[in-house]
Structure 1
Amino acid sequence: MLPPDTGLPFDDIRALIATMPGPDEGARGAALKRQGELVKPPGALGRLEEIAVHVATWQGNSMPTVNRPMVAVFAATHGVADRGVSPYPGAVTRQMLDAFGTGKAAVNQICATFDAGLRVFDLALDYPTPDISREPALDEKACAATMAFGMEAIAGGSDLLCLGEMGIGNTTIAAAICHGLYGGTAEEWVGAGTGSTGDVLARKIEVVRAAVALHKDHLDDPLELLRRLGGRELAAMAGAILAARHEKVPVILDGYVVTAAAAVLHALDSTALDHCLAGHVSAEKAHGAVLERLGLKPILDLGMRLGEGSGAALAIGVVKAAVACHRGMATFAEAGVSQDG
């Protein structure tokens, strides 16, 4: 799907936010009723019951499916990578895309395990966005267009969308977005990322501090914040989340960078992420703090911090199991089991 063309890029995005469909309460009620009739004590499957009802609610189907899960990985390059904010050079982004293409990255193995599709989006890797501590990452037109491009992630009829990213320097970008949205200090939002320590970590903190200070007079508008402090993959992921909402596709978010992109939508409308699940909480120190602000409880906590959609992809297994139990278990009546005490 694409936003309507009004000639005002961010107005198109705001229109999509304003017209987001809400939860299907009929599907939710029917799914809850079925959960109460399945041959188990009430609540015995814990969060699996909650997840099944969530998927039913946002697919608009009391008997939901996870037959076509899709992991979409968005890759971009960032000018801040040249500031020495990561122990790896920016060229690694392209090299990792090559690994995705040959099926040799971690996310390839996880997708194969859970029979999930994988799409990788190259967002102009040869043209890094500018250093956000010196100028905006994108202009309004480019940011809106990249969000629209991200909306194509749902093309092909997926019934569950998992979001991931790849981009050396993008935890610096995520930290800047969170610092801009939530305040505090740069140190609170900057973590190790791919392994930043010592002078590298100090440079990363300074870049985030400088970026937020440079753009501080323009951060009240979340879309303006996104275009100034963000990057192409974050804009595209925000677009994908928004498109999934309109197409009744539940979303699983991956780690810190994906969650930072989602936080922009939440800042625009506190209900914008109601169709989303948090696949995991990463080892990146600020990820849990952002999830708490967004009201998202992670499915997994495995100390992962790889990115590339790996945590979201791994959560597919749990979501599939939740839906399979919801659809396949017998009711007390079907099993001939008495519910009397």
Structure 2
Amino acid sequence: MCGVTPPVELRTLVLGGTRSGKSRHAEVLLEGLPGDAAVRYLATGRRIPGDTDWDARIAAHAARRPAHWTTEEVVGTELATALARPGPVLVDDLATWLTGVLDDAGAWAAPVVPAGVDAAVDGLVAAVAAAPGPLVLVSAETGLGVVPDTRAGRLFRDRLGELNAALARVCDDVVLVVAGRALALPPGGTAGTPAVAPAPVTEVPAEEVPEPEVPVAGAAGAEVADPAGDVAGTPAGVPGAVVPATGAAAGAVAGAAPTPDSVSESDVEIVPVAVGRPDSRSRREAVALVDGLAMPTGGLGRLGELGVWLASCQGTCPPQAPVRARVVLLAADHGIAANGVSAYPPEVSAVRATAAAAGRLPVTVAARAAGATVRVVDVGLVSGAEGAEPGWLVAHGTGRIDREDALDGERATTAWLTGRRLADAEIDAGADLLIPATLAVGVTTPAATLVAAVTGAEPVAVVGRASGIDDRAWMRKAVAIRDALRRARPHLRDPLALLRTVGGTDLIVLAGFLARAAERKVPAVLDGLAVGAAALLADELAPGAKDWWVAAQPSTEPAATLVLEHLSLVPLLDLAVRTEDGTAAVTALPLVVTAARLLAETGTARDTGVVPGDVIAAAGAGR
């Protein structure tokens, strides 16, 4: 054994990939305790009947541990209970523990993750924070590759990443093991922090027995490295600050408006490192409420799940039906529209904005029917539009993303802040549910480019017919996306730079709007490829924001399908609406209201007597 055994902290979290040496490093930490202390080894890997390879891995791990250590096999909430007893304790590992929790809850196929998962995770984090120690936790570092190709894989990646982050906040020391070398992460560090110093222990024996794989029963999809070495969608730099993109900025967009006087250096706001999740207690109460209603188990289906989501967003059970739903329509022009990538000429963006302001578009008609109010805002039209609010203008159009950046760094930052201020204005005015959309011609081209950049998809896999384009326009669009993706490659790790380079004014405003709404705990309904692409980047800039959104319907655009998979969102409807202006989202509003009222007004089985027959018989016998 090379190196010197370091002192073990009260609580240490050891992270690493498969066969990285993380388990051996954790064992070394506790082997160095004075007096040959008897370590309790809490094994979370469940035995799988008939799986001899798995049994062999477990036996190999047990054989290399000191003989005076004791082993306890724990699952689910048993782990939190076991941590309450005095240490020293080694837990190996949390990935297998989480897998078991997700298995027990039936979460892999559930449209909404059952409340029991949140309860188990919260209980474990609390137990770790209160553990008497010394305590060493081992967990798999995940999410280092392109998005898993299954919903279950994305669920596992997201939940394990959240669990690791939550535990890191309550641990005294966090170590990342790579290729047998231990790296101590800085205290209180955040994603993107550049400083990583090596820990005193520098090596793990090369003959180490391989660590056990995490058996997810085919759930966690394999992560594939980007061919060029980049991991699409990973933020770069320090994620707390909104700053103009680095590198040579593109020249000013022709005819672009100056930055509004209201924006100054002091106005540059801080992007949250993470957005708080909807209230787990209200979620659990809502799940219990639905289970007790006068109906067969699971009788409300997706409506019940929608009501549970709304309750968790509002932080109250039963949830209240939204009474001030607001539709915010953004008007903007995209330079790429001049390349014939849409069935409509570029000037139709302003025409649509005027029609929307007059209440003549499908989305505005649907909003009147659903009782929602509409606001039309000009954030990037070349020449403005009658009836559209001009006070939020960021730029007059954008550059052609296949040849030049959509915006320069200053205007990209302004667009992000504009979206946040728009959300603040709506929420301060009383909005309790938000539906953002864009009216821009050609917007699906930059939107599809962004989706391809984040997910690693090929250009032809994201090109759709959108406004009803013919084959020639489809080919022009595919070429434009291909060329834009080449320009985007240097910025795959920087969401704001990606939006600046191959996005557009309305897409950046949408991203800022969605991130701010989630930060202020106001739910939103997503509809269409453009909003979905903005949501992808919003969740990168404000991790966790996706928990505050629900998808209205699957779009006919192939890139939109990738968005839903990436964000793990299950659509409420499937109406094949292709307007891309928020019409489907507004159409889903009555479902949200109905879901809330079902939870609030439906009688319980106990109160109504609507219970299964054997229960009725038992009740009658007791009278």
TM-score interval, normalised by the smaller of the two chains: over 0.9
Matched position secondary structure for 2:453: helix
> What's the CA shift for 1:6?
7.0
> What's the CA shift for 1:121?
1.5
Alpha carbons of 1:23 and 1:7: their partners in 2 closer, same or farther (altered >3 Å)?
Answer: closer
Q: Deviations over 1:104-149 (max 9, x none)?
A: 1101111111101111221130111111111111223322221221
Match of 1:203 among 476, 486, 502: 476
Counterpart residue number, 2:292: 37
What is the identity, as a one-letter code, of the residue corresponding to 1:216?
Answer: R
> What's the CA shift for 1:24?
0.8
Counterpart residue number, 2:408: 139
Matched position secondary structure for 1:33: helix
Q: Deviations over 1:190-223 (max 9, x none)?
A: 1111111222111111111111112322222122
Matched position secondary structure for 1:16: coil
> What's the CA shift for 1:39?
1.4
% identical aligned pairs = 34
Counterpart residue number, 1:67: 323
Matches within 5 A, 1:290-329: 290-329=563-602
What is the identity, as a one-letter code, of the residue corresponding to 1:36?
Answer: D
Match of 2:448 among 175, 190, 208: 175
Q: Deviations over 1:231-277 (max 9, x none)?
A: 11111111111111122111110111110111112344652211110
Matched position secondary structure for 1:162: strand
What is the identity, as a one-letter code, of the residue corresponding to 1:20?
Answer: V
Counterpart residue number, 1:97: 353
Alpha carbons of 1:84 and 1:310: their partners in 2 closer, same or farther (altered >3 Å)?
Answer: same
User: Unaligned regions of 5+ residues in structure 2, if any?
Assistant: 1-239, 246-266, 383-395, 617-623
1:282 and 1:321 mapped to 2: Cα distance?
A: 23
User: Unaligned regions of 5+ residues in structure 1, if any?
Assistant: none
> What's the CA shift for 1:98?
1.1
Instruction: Answer yes or no: is the 8 Å Cα contact 1:174–1:256 preserved in 2.
Output: yes
2:268 and 2:284 mapped to 1: Cα distance?
A: 31
Matched position secondary structure for 1:18: coil
1:27 aligns with 2:282: yes
Match of 2:310 among 51, 55, 69: 55
Counterpart residue number, 2:182: none
Matched position secondary structure for 1:320: helix
Alpha carbons of 1:129 and 1:289: their partners in 2 closer, same or farther (altered >3 Å)?
Answer: same
1:254 and 1:147 mapped to 2: Cα distance?
A: 20
Matches within 5 A, 1:74-113: 74-113=330-369
> What's the CA shift for 1:36?
2.0
1:213 aligns with 2:486: yes
Instruction: Answer yes or no: is the 8 Å Cα contact 2:512–2:538 preserved in 1.
Output: no
Which structure is higher in helix share?
A: 1
For normalisation by structure 2, the TM-score amounts to 0.52
1:334 aligns with 2:590: no
> What's the CA shift for 1:30?
1.8
Instruction: Answer yes or no: is the 8 Å Cα contact 1:94–1:125 preserved in 2.
Output: yes
Match of 1:116 among 372, 375, 381: 372
Alpha carbons of 1:288 and 1:54: their partners in 2 closer, same or farther (altered >3 Å)?
Answer: same
Instruction: Answer yes or no: is the 8 Å Cα contact 2:271–2:541 preserved in 1.
Output: no
Match of 2:516 among 237, 243, 257: 243
2:583 and 2:575 mapped to 1: Cα distance?
A: 11
Match of 1:257 among 512, 522, 530: 530
Instruction: Answer yes or no: is the 8 Å Cα contact 1:72–1:309 preserved in 2.
Output: no
Instruction: Answer yes or no: is the 8 Å Cα contact 1:166–1:308 preserved in 2.
Output: yes
For normalisation by structure 1, the TM-score amounts to 0.93
1:281 aligns with 2:554: yes
> What's the CA shift for 1:186?
1.1
Instruction: Answer yes or no: is the 8 Å Cα contact 1:143–1:227 preserved in 2.
Output: yes
1:271 aligns with 2:527: no
Q: Deviations over 1:284-309 (max 9, x none)?
A: 23322221122111111111110111
Q: Deviations over 1:28-58 (max 9, x none)?
A: 1221222122211221010101100101111
1:56 and 1:157 mapped to 2: Cα distance?
A: 18
Matched position secondary structure for 2:377: strand
Instruction: Answer yes or no: is the 8 Å Cα contact 1:159–1:249 preserved in 2.
Output: yes
Q: Deviations over 1:299-323 (max 9, x none)?
A: 1111111011111111112111111
1:125 aligns with 2:388: no
Instruction: Answer yes or no: is the 8 Å Cα contact 2:452–2:559 preserved in 1.
Output: no
Alpha carbons of 1:13 and 1:19: their partners in 2 closer, same or farther (altered >3 Å)?
Answer: farther
1:46 aligns with 2:293: no
Instruction: Answer yes or no: is the 8 Å Cα contact 1:76–1:233 preserved in 2.
Output: yes
Matched position secondary structure for 2:330: strand
Instruction: Answer yes or no: is the 8 Å Cα contact 1:17–1:272 preserved in 2.
Output: no
Q: Deviations over 1:130-185 (max 9, x none)?
A: 11111111223322221221221333111111121110110001111112112232
User: Larger C-alpha radius of gyration, 1 or 2?
Assistant: 2
Matched position secondary structure for 2:434: strand
Matched position secondary structure for 2:589: helix
Counterpart residue number, 2:115: none
1:234 aligns with 2:507: yes
Alpha carbons of 1:218 and 1:8: their partners in 2 closer, same or farther (altered >3 Å)?
Answer: closer
Instruction: Answer yes or no: is the 8 Å Cα contact 1:58–1:275 preserved in 2.
Output: yes
1:149 aligns with 2:415: no
Matched position secondary structure for 1:277: strand
